[in-house]
Amino acid sequence: MSGLTHLDAKGHARMVDVGAKAETDRAATARARVVMQPATLRLIREGGAAKGDVLGVARVAGIMAAKRTADLIPLCHPLPISAITVDLEPEGEDAIGITATVRTTSRTGVEMEALTAAAVTALTVYDMCKAVDRGMRVEGLRVVAKSGGKSGDFTQD
């Protein structure tokens, strides 16, 4: 494992200089899930949430969040994002799985953008349903795939 790239020789935070890196096609996919009561998932599926279309609003929130990642994470580079997809699927009777994929042609990867999209999507599901289920929890936020760049491809379940 290499050292922490966001720290200089004195241990101070720094933004990594990516100026000499080649622009390449890059992609990252992140996942999360929101676990809830079965009745809450039924309410979402039936379109009965008081705040409206939970999955549609959460999808848009995730897309918007990915585009604002550099404003939220202090040492992230602003990137020219070429595509963002956010998919929400019921998992069993008590969860919604979230998969966010972000693509760019740039000098640095989009893992943070994919993670931000998945996290904000999950938080939006929580926000829209908290009136009926305060016990919901967000689980398993992680990068499951990354491609492009010098470090190559990465996948995990």
Phi first, then psi: what are they for 140, rounded to 5°? 65, 30
Q: How many CB atoms lie within 10 A of CB 58?
A: 26
Q: What is the dihedral of CA 61, 67, 72, 77, to 10 degrees?
A: 160
Catalytically annotated residues: 127
- State the first-to-last Cα distance of the chain, in angstroms, to the nearest integer: 20
Q: Is 103 helix (H, G, I), strand (E, B) or coil?
A: strand
